[in-house]
Amino acid sequence: MFRKLLIANRGEIACRIMRTARRLGIDTVAVYSEADATSMHVEQADEAWSIGAAPARESYLSIDKIIDVARRTGAEAIHPGYGFLSENPAFAEACAAAGVVFVGPSASAMRLMGSKASAKSLMERAGVSIIPGYHGDATDLASLEREARRLGFPLLVKASSGGGGRGMRLIESLDQLRDAVAAASREALSAFGEGRVLLERRLLRARHVEVQIFADAEGGCLAFQERDCSLQRRRQKILEETPAPGLARELREAMQQAAVTAARSVGYVGAGTVEFLLEDGRFYFLEMNTRLQVEHPITEMVAGQDLVEWQLRVAAGERLPIGQEALHLRGCAIEARICAEDPQQDFLPSTGLIERLRLPDLGEHIRVDAGVRGGDRITPYYDPLLAKLIVWGEHRAAALQRLQRALDQFEIVGPATNLDFLRALSRETWLESGAYDTTSVEANAAELRRTTPLAPEDERVILAAGAAVWLSDLCLEARATAAGRDGACAPWDATDGWRLDGRQGADVEFLMNDQRIKLRLHPEGEGAFRLESNGHAARVEFAPSGAELRLCVDGVWREVGVVRRAAALVIVLRGRNHVLAPHDPLRSASRPGDSDRRLIAPLPARVTRVHATNGQVVKAGASIVTLEVMKTEFVLRAPRDGAIAGLACKEGEWVPEGATLAYISDDAAPVVAATNGEG
């Protein structure tokens, strides 16, 4: 076994690999970019080396820099994780040339199966059904247009290399092809360092089912139970389960045999995943991922095995730990991917400081693979995946119940996340029945994004928590005032609501969910008050403890999280965040401005394409600027009819959050952007 392992990755997968390496007594070397200098994977490694600037092409995609660190540290092997260089045969060859073991398949197997185009050709020759498409050598636009006409629509434009839904676009007509090819190629180049694309016919009601295979250098090869990855948003998986619900035994065995055949046909060694689309009782080869999958933990949960340990042992020349006949699978496991993205803003990636992170109760049947901690800052440079919640149950219903409870316990305050979206998804009847396909999430996205109305008792708890914090702050202020007079007390230092004509209490107003709510508080000594709101009265007791607050409302004790955000409070109840902002009646009403004329960067991002020029007349909804953040491209569109004026960005540059990128004027006369210098 190796003595020292370099991990050429970051985030949760780097931490995941380190956990196994530590258990096996292997020292670990982390590499990191400038943006990741204080990250979790850097802290957990035995040693960590800086390899460059934040953009991945200057750090995590730099083969020379990573090999140099391996040489300087004496690392005997490199684990690439997934994404970045994990499916790059040139990286595997560079490792071999440097005398370092690449924890993965050979470069030749990777070229054959890691490329979607060559893998489809190979499987087609082996007699395995493939989805109609074009994966030939000609990739110029004219050739792609000709093939698109032949195939018909809808079509997927897909990156030939990589995975994870990156570099993929759905098109409904020929006039969308040019932009889709350009966007998919740019995204793939940024994420994987290679921008070739292919075309594939879109199956309309398919399920996405994959088979994990493992092979050693002695000819041993086995297939694990399949994983159903059909629950996707924009072709990116968000929830996976094993086994696939309702899959016939004969179909399962046929897919496993096809997966093993694919691996043996190229002399594959290591972990790989063969992906299929399943429709009308037939399966079609989709692609092979020549690496460990993001969803590998659910296979580990049902098999009772550590797949990273298997990878390391096979890479060290050992045989597979067990054979196919000794592989015993039990129960059902489900994984939910928790990402920094805002479902209410069309899943726009989200950045910023993690102000609070609280994991669900972990144990034998609940696991979290995370790459962040409270206090970490999410940057715009990498994938938005924050953590993976993995649960196991003796049967599918038990696993789903465990998933629902764990999601309710998961708390994140800071960047927007998809936690509420996952909570809603986990309770859908069509998910519980297993009657879903790759279109189900998109078809139900509006309903899944809908905010669930607060139950009256939950609203009272949230308001009581806000009032308790307000009253505690008032008490602390009074004590500080008294301390400033050397402890001398004055009547106005009291916070018990006492008045000459009896205890009258105090009025407090909060804004919650754009509604103004008026509360009346009647203090009843330290840590207790009577609360009146919306015609309801309740006695409240509370006991602050750091970031937690225990309080009793209507005789029921509850615990909530409290995060201060400037003048506002974020109250966390059963995993959901509720913002309470103090209402200032003297605050001037906001006046309408020209925000509907400005195109503003919603977060820090790189400009990948400028679609318009100064003076160009555009209609509302026209594409103006394409930005890239967290390996994802999104388009900013004209908010109104008018003419582009004061265009203030150019391709390739990074723009800060809130930057005005363009101005939409009422006429075609360009407006010259103002300068700060003298003139």
Cα gap 10→17, rounded to integer Å: 10
Please enumerate in sequence order all residues whose Cβ is within 8 A of that of 438, keeping only pairs 6 or more positions apart, or say none. Answer: 203, 206, 207, 208, 230, 232, 277
Beta bridge partners of 542: 551
**Axis crossing angle, helix 11-23 with helix 307-315, rounded to the nearest 10:** 70
Instruction: Give the pairing of strands 27-32 and 4-7.
Output: parallel
Whether the bond into 243 is cis, omega within 30 of 0: yes
Residue 507 β-bridge partners = 520
DSSP secondary structure code for residue 165 in this structure: T
Distances (CA, A) of 276 to 68, 130, 147: 38, 9, 23
Alpha-carbon distance values, 558 to 105, 299, 410, 460, 554 (Å): 52, 36, 16, 11, 11
Instruction: List the one residue out of 522, 656, 560, 538 whose CA is nearest residue 601.
Output: 656
Please give the structure tokens belonging to residue 567.
Answer: 């003048």
- Our CA dihedral for 297, 303, 306, 308, rounded to 10 degrees, sits at -60
| Dihedral angle over CA of 433, 435, 438, 442, nearest 10 | -70
Q: Is 16 a catalytic residue?
A: no
The alpha carbon dihedral of 143, 144, 145, 146 has a sign of positive
Helices (H), 354-395: none
Counting Cβ atoms within 10 Å, is residue 239 exposed (0-12), middle (13-18) or buried (19+)? buried
DSSP 284-335: EEEEEE-S--TTHHHHHHHHT--HHHHHHHHHTTPPPSS-GGG----SEEEE
Give me the amino acid identity at 615. Answer: G
Residues 6+ positions from 427 with CB-CB distance below 8 Å? 404
Q: Is the torsion defined by CA of 104, 108, 111, 114 positive or negative?
A: negative
The residue from 10, 16, 166, 291 that is catalytic is: 291
- Is 98 within 8 Å of 8 (Cβ atoms)? no
Spatial distance between the Cα atoms of 39 and 32, rounded to a whole number of angstroms: 8
Q: Which one, of 177, 120, 119, 167, lies nearest residue 146 by Cα?
A: 177
Residues known to be catalytic: 291
